[in-house]
Chains A and B, each alone.
Chain A
Amino acid sequence: MSPTFVVTVVAGGDKLGKSLERRFLWRTMPAPLQDVTKRRSNVSSTSHYEQKPKSQLSDYIISEELGKGAYGVVYQVKEIKTNKEYALKQINVSVNEEGIPQSVLRELSVMKSLTSLRHPNVLGLVNVFHTLLGKKEGMKINMIVEKCDWDLHLFLKGIPRNCPEKQCRHIARQIFIGLDFLHEHNIIHRDLKPQNILINRNQEIKIADFGLSRMYSNTSAFTSVAVTLWYRAPELLLLTEYGSSSDIWSAGCIISEVYHREPLFAGDSEAGQLWDILGKQGVPEESKWPHDAIVKREAFISERTAYPRDIQTLNPSLSPEAAAVVRECVKFSADSRPTAQRALKMPYFKSPRESAESPVPPPSNFSAMRCESSTPRTANVRKIHKIKPKMTHSNRRSENMISQLPNEIEQMKIEPDNDFTPFF
């Protein structure tokens, strides 16, 4: 069963980056202003104050629990008014004498504004509201999000065979496009993993839970949160500065996993994870080891790390082009990894290879996002250390990402596979 979810957020000085840059980006983002008069008339036609400002839990019917994750409990809900299905994420937040923690406020408001920009590969936050738990216990934050069919972890676990190249590339591309969008707006996911990449029947990918990890970065030492370490970049494991390039590492690991449904690096503790990475890739030279790492480089020099192997050897299912992307993304030194935008320019994403292979059908007949943490992919981390954020790649302008969306999206229609037997 899933571990019980306990997260206590203790407020305090917000150590999380004075992200003036982020604010600036928000503010300078020009709103489409060409059609002011038309919009005005629209506004007046739907009178504002007639709409109820309150959006309470009672507007929704909770039908079933979909799973417990590191961030809270997820339920399937139906909005009464519209009969639409959504997922509800509930997060407990403790409130101290400074009210609702600053980190929680900031992240929620950023997510809220991001959603208004509507990116196809980023999970939309439809609504957010709080419910009080009691006088002093704090409150629940309720997030209504789009409902997707699976998370990538369940999807990969459920499909009967490896995905063909085209399908893998389609998934990989969307992950990078979504990441590029987040990074463009100075959001570092920090906890990208198959469990919070959602996938729909039509092969559409949506990145979820971005920013949530930051809400817990000043979590109290008593808290134990179940987290996966397999996708975590070395700089996070070594508790040094991290940046958007840490997400690129995770994306590289995930893409490798999409190909052969096995994790690229799999450790059961921070140290174990580092040993696995360095065992496969070798120990980097002295100059690349972070000077403020909590473990010395020398500690890892041993027989176990003496025989580095290439990505293609580690994962023979990767096509040469895909291997090139993964190889760049999982470079030990964060500065050497490409930005999401640069990765999207690599040959892998450029050459849509026509193939007769049909995409692997999605697993049928089982609920989305169930048992997120029921797998042995978790390690108990006692202490969440404070990590200084580093906004790399932040001042970069992106091209219109939507225009980069591949034709494949149109082409990629999953045909129902009659041979496919449900295995759940």
Chain B
Amino acid sequence: MINRWIWTSDEVKNAPSIRAGMSQKEETRLRREGCKIVVEVGSTLRLKANPTMATASTYFHRFYMYHTFSDFPRELTALGCLFLAGKVEETPKKCRDICNSAVQRFPDIFNSYASLTDEVMGIERVLLQTLKFDLQVDLPYEALLEYGKIFPGVSKEQMSETIQIAWTFINDSYYTTLCITVEAQLIAIALLHLAFTVKEVKLGAVENTWWEQDVSNWSNEAVDRTCHMVLDFYTATKENPIFAEPAAVVPNK
């Protein structure tokens, strides 16, 4: 069955906001900011990076394949996704707590809302409609841990460091549209491959294209493209950190 939640990169480049006239650059910025809100607010609520925040970010990216940023401001959608993902992933947070954290962390963005909780409740319904109650999201984390076991030639320490790096790559990949263009298992493969490359790990007897036993016709270029999406994100945000634009970020009190 075709995964209805995976789009081609052309389709992503042609997302509703862009078709409505927004520049690609602006759309990418708003996606990153939305996910930043998910992660920041989620962290203050002591949600672990995964799976709730990854699930929330995935909802967020899917949502804007159906709606525009001008119809639904990124900050509301981000909170709605976090709220919904909390319930689905069994880490429920009170709507009021989410809103309070959001106001505290991003006062300039959220102070303008008179009744933020009502807005989040409203967006929850739009989200359900858009996501069609299909709320179980495949995440790459378990696959990553499974793949971590198939390299007998790599020392235990080196392997766990590599997994740690790949894990971070996965966390950060949610700022990009990777989760709506590549299946979770492939993300795990590509980012583990990236971690091996970064750490210059020798795989020993195992083939360099070790994933071929599972995914026979996934080309090296496709793996590279996946890795580059994450690397490009790091480059881009090094030059322009998310929320670097004036008036967006206010240091936490």
A30-B185 in contact given A19-B90, A48-B7 (Cβ < 8 Å): yes
B215 touches A36 (CB 8 A): yes
Distance of A292 Cα from B66 Cα, bound (Å): 51
- By a CB distance below 8 angstroms, the chain B residues around A129 are 129, 132-133
Distance of A130 Cα from B230 Cα, bound (Å): 37
B94 touches A98 (CB 8 A): yes
Q: Does A109 interact with chain B (Cβ within 8 Å)?
A: yes
- By a CB distance below 8 angstroms, the chain A residues around B95 are 97-99
For A, the interface residue count at a CB cutoff of 8 angstroms equals 47
Q: Which of A200-214 contact B (CB under 8 A)?
A: none
Partner of A99, one of B6, B7, B83, B89: B83
Distance of A31 Cα from B216 Cα, bound (Å): 13
- By a CB distance below 8 angstroms, the chain B residues around A14 are 90, 92
Instruction: Across the A-B interface, give the 6 residue pairs with the lowest CB-CB distance, nearest first.
Output: A109-B135, A102-B87, A113-B136, A27-B142, A53-B66, A44-B8
Which residue on A lies nearest to B11, using beta carbons?
A48
Distance of A98 Cα from B183 Cα, bound (Å): 31
Interface residues of chain A, those whose CB is within 8 Å of chain B, are 14, 18-20, 23-24, 26-28, 30-31, 33-37, 39-40, 42-44, 47-49, 53-55, 95, 97-100, 102, 105-106, 108-110, 112-113, 116, 127-130, 132, 139
- By a CB distance below 8 angstroms, the chain A residues around B107 are none
Q: What's the least CB distance linking B54 to chain A, in Å?
A: 11
Q: What's the least CB distance linking B35 to chain A, in Å?
A: 21
A54 touches B2 (CB 8 A): no
Q: What's the least CB distance linking A417 to chain B, in Å?
A: 38
Distance of A240 Cα from B84 Cα, bound (Å): 31
12 cross-chain CB contacts under 8 A:
A23-B51, A27-B142, A36-B215, A37-B218, A48-B11, A53-B66, A97-B96, A100-B124, A100-B128, A105-B135, A109-B134, A129-B133
Q: Does B166 interact with chain A (Cβ within 8 Å)?
A: no
A42-B88 in contact given A28-B142, A36-B186, A129-B132 (Cβ < 8 Å): no
Partner of A43, one of B2, B89, B92, B130: B2
- By a CB distance below 8 angstroms, the chain A residues around B1 are 116
A31 touches B3 (CB 8 A): yes
Which among A35, A42, A48, A130 has the highest number of chain B CB atoms within 10 Å? A48
Q: What's the least CB distance linking B4 to chain A, in Å?
A: 8
Partner of A105, one of B88, B121, B217: B88
1/0 per residue, CB under 8 A from A, across B130-146: the answer is: 10111110110111001
B121 touches A99 (CB 8 A): yes
Partner of A26, one of B7, B90, B136: B136
Q: Does B30 interact with chain A (Cβ within 8 Å)?
A: no
- By a CB distance below 8 angstroms, the chain B residues around A102 are 87-88, 90, 92
Distance of A104 Cα from B139 Cα, bound (Å): 22
1/0 per residue, CB under 8 A from A, across B79-112: the answer is: 0000110011110101110000000000000000
Partner of A33, one of B117, B133, B215: B215
- By a CB distance below 8 angstroms, the chain B residues around A47 are 11
Which among A49, A99, A108 has the highest number of chain B CB atoms within 10 Å? A99
Q: Does B16 interact with chain A (Cβ within 8 Å)?
A: yes
Q: Does B199 interact with chain A (Cβ within 8 Å)?
A: no
- By a CB distance below 8 angstroms, the chain A residues around B146 are 28
Q: Does B165 interact with chain A (Cβ within 8 Å)?
A: no
- By a CB distance below 8 angstroms, the chain A residues around B157 are none
Which residue on A lies nearest to B15, using beta carbons?
A49
- By a CB distance below 8 angstroms, the chain A residues around B10 are 44
Partner of B88, one of A36, A43, A98, A109: A109
B87 touches A43 (CB 8 A): no
Q: Does B200 interact with chain A (Cβ within 8 Å)?
A: no
B88 touches A106 (CB 8 A): yes
B218 touches A130 (CB 8 A): no
Q: Does B239 interact with chain A (Cβ within 8 Å)?
A: no
B216 touches A34 (CB 8 A): yes
A112-B90 in contact given A33-B185, A33-B214, A40-B8 (Cβ < 8 Å): no
Q: Does B125 interact with chain A (Cβ within 8 Å)?
A: yes
- By a CB distance below 8 angstroms, the chain B residues around A44 are 8, 10-11
Q: Does B242 interact with chain A (Cβ within 8 Å)?
A: no
- By a CB distance below 8 angstroms, the chain A residues around B117 are 97
B66 touches A49 (CB 8 A): yes
Q: Does B65 interact with chain A (Cβ within 8 Å)?
A: yes
- By a CB distance below 8 angstroms, the chain B residues around A24 are 142
Which residue on B lies nearest to A127, using beta carbons?
B132
Q: What's the least CB distance linking B116 to chain A, in Å?
A: 13
- By a CB distance below 8 angstroms, the chain A residues around B6 are 43
Q: What's the least CB distance linking A375 to chain B, in Å?
A: 32
Q: What's the least CB distance linking B139 to chain A, in Å?
A: 6
A36 touches B134 (CB 8 A): no
Q: What's the least CB distance linking B235 to chain A, in Å?
A: 26
A27 touches B138 (CB 8 A): yes
